[in-house]
């Protein structure tokens, strides 16, 4: 009897041990799984706990981690409606109230190209804010390298029909200070820049032969720079007369530094709207850009240029079945995302963002 009792106790003990081991394994698996999900959200900016908008493969939630403070997370608004109505809706969602003279910063597009933002897309917004379309001359030649030729191109592309067009560096440059710059101590923008109180940055998001991609940051750096300012950025501060030379990462970092000087100067009087259509690997400065190999995605807007560009990059990478593979290759071959990393490092904006789909109202 005593022997049977000992056997029963032994069996029960073994069962208890097995159950404990199973319980421990379950707990460890859950903890590791949660840690993996958190790391994925942190490193790859994967959105969690969100619904999916199948129209554009967009998840309407945050790419944040639990330890992110609110000030480290920016809001980016999204609509899949690429139309004048969609642009107006997302603009109104931002709640921006421009004051004084309003600049609409966009690319007028090189003659021969046709992927630049079309006048009929932006007309209603331009009229509502009584804005002036502003640009600067290019440093590389082409149909926009002189003020006269640039204005002819703007007219040919229909921009002069909807607004006045001001070539900011038609009368030279002015200087904006670059705080704590590694490569630049000053940023040279067109002298007419001083004539505007508020700025709406309208960027066609796409690839770029040198920067990897072009969005809000490029538009307020290279885009706002005068011809000599463009040379300074391309050469990381070495030349005002030539845009050739300088290593790739220094060029990307100089873009971020010059963009910071503009953002600091405008403070709360500037917003950023990126349109993700005609997603070529080439920018609108090309007279014969490559045909896009991915579908249009939508319009994004924010008060943070880093967050809105990062959200666009994430949306490109989320495309499936090889859609956009050439654009991903263009971005990676130029180390394009280094611009975003460095921009956050110097305080231009946040890599973490909360994506709000205004079509469905979810976050």
* pLDDT tens-digit map of 228-238: 999 999 999 99
Measure the CA dihedral 190/174/271/312, to 10°.
Answer: 70
User: Which residues are CB-contacts of 6 (< 8 A; sequence separation ≥ 6)?
Assistant: none
Backbone angles phi, psi at 53, to 5 degrees: -90, 105
Residue 42 is predicted with a pLDDT of 34
CA angle 148, 200, 297 (to 5 degrees): 100
Residue 69 is predicted with a pLDDT of 66
Burial class (CB in 10 A: 0-12, 13-18, 19+), 12: exposed
Given pLDDT bands bounded at 50, 70 and 90, which one contains residue 9? low
pLDDT of residue 343 exceeding 80, the answer is yes
Which of the pair, 37 or 186, is modelled with greater confidence? 186
Q: Which of 54-68, 90-104, 115-129, 258-272 is predicted least confidently?
A: 54-68
Percent of the chain's residues with pLDDT above 70:
80
Determine the Cα–Cα distance for residues 90 and 274; give it in Å rounded to an integer. 11
pLDDT of residue 45 exceeding 60, the answer is no
Strand partners, 155: none
User: Which of 137, 336, 125, 358 has the alpha carbon at shortest distance from 249?
Assistant: 336
Q: Measured between alpha carbons, how far is residue 233 from residues 193, 212, 223, 226, 257 in Å?
A: 18, 15, 11, 10, 9
Average pLDDT, the chain: 85
pLDDT of residue 226 exceeding 70, the answer is yes
Give CB contacts under 8 A, 24+ apart, made by 152-161. Answer: 153/108, 153/109, 153/110, 153/111, 154/108, 156/111, 157/108, 157/109, 157/116, 157/119, 158/118, 158/119, 158/120, 159/108, 159/119, 159/133, 161/119
Q: Measured between alpha carbons, how far is residue 137 from residues 4, 24, 190 in Å?
A: 96, 66, 9
What SS3 class is residue 57?
coil
Any idea which residue has 């041990």 for tokens?
Answer: 17
User: Which of 94, 67, 30, 52 has the alpha carbon at shortest distance from 273?
Assistant: 94
User: Which of 112, 105, 115, 133 has the alpha carbon at shortest distance from 284?
Assistant: 115
Neighbours of 48 (CB within 10 A): 14
Q: State pTM to two decimals.
A: 0.82
pLDDT of residue 335 exceeding 70, the answer is yes
Residue 189 is predicted with a pLDDT of 98
Given pLDDT bands bounded at 50, 70 and 90, which one contains residue 281? very high
Residue 22 is predicted with a pLDDT of 44
Instruction: Report which DSSP code applies to 114.
Output: -
Q: Average the pLDDT over 235-256 and give the result.
A: 93
Given pLDDT bands bounded at 50, 70 and 90, which one contains residue 284? confident
pLDDT in tens, 169-202: 999 999 999 998 999 999 999 999 999 999 999 9
């Amino acid at each position: 009897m005593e022997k049977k009792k000992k056997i029963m106790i032994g069996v029960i003990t073994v069962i208890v041990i097995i159950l404990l081991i199973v319980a421990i394994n379950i707990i460890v698996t859950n903890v590791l799984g949660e840690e993996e999900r958190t790391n994925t959200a942190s490193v790859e900016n994967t959105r969690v706990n969100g619904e999916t908008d199948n129209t554009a493969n967009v998840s309407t939630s945050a790419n944040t981690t639990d330890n992110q403070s609110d000030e480290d997370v920016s809001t980016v608004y999204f609509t899949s409606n690429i139309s004048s109505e969609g642009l107006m809706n997302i603009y109104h969602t931002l709640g921006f109230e421009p004051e004084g003279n309003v600049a609409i910063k966009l690319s007028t597009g090189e003659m021969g190209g046709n992927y630049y933002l079309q006048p009929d897309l932006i007309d209603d917004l331009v009229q509502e804010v009584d804005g002036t379309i502003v640009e600067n001359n290019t440093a590389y030649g082409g149909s926009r390298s002189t003020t006269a030729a640039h204005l002819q191109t703007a007219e040919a592309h229909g921009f002069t029909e909807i607004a006045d067009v001001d070539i900011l560096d038609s009368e030279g440059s002015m200087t904006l200070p670059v705080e704590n710059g590694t490569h630049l101590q000053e940023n040279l923008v067109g002298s007419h820049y001083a004539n505007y109180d508020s700025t709406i940055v309208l960027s066609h998001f796409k690839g770029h032969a040198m920067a990897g991609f072009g969005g809000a940051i490029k538009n307020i750096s290279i885009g706002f720079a005068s011809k000599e300012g463009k040379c300074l950025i391309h050469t990381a501060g070495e030349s005002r007369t030539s845009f050739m030379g300088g290593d790739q990462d220094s060029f990307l970092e100089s873009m971020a530094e010059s963009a910071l000087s503009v953002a600091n100067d405008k403070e709360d009087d500037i917003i950023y709207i990126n349109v993700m259509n005609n997603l070529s690997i080439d920018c609108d400065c090309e007279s014969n850009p490559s045909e896009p190999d991915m579908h249009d995605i939508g319009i994004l807007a924010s008060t943070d240029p880093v967050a809105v560009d990062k959200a666009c990059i994430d949306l490109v990478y989320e495309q499936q079945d090889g859609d956009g593979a050439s654009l991903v290759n263009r971005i990676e071959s130029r180390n394009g995302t280094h611009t975003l990393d460095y921009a956050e490092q110097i305080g231009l904006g946040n890599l973490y963002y909360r994506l709000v789909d205004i079509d469905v109202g979810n976050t």
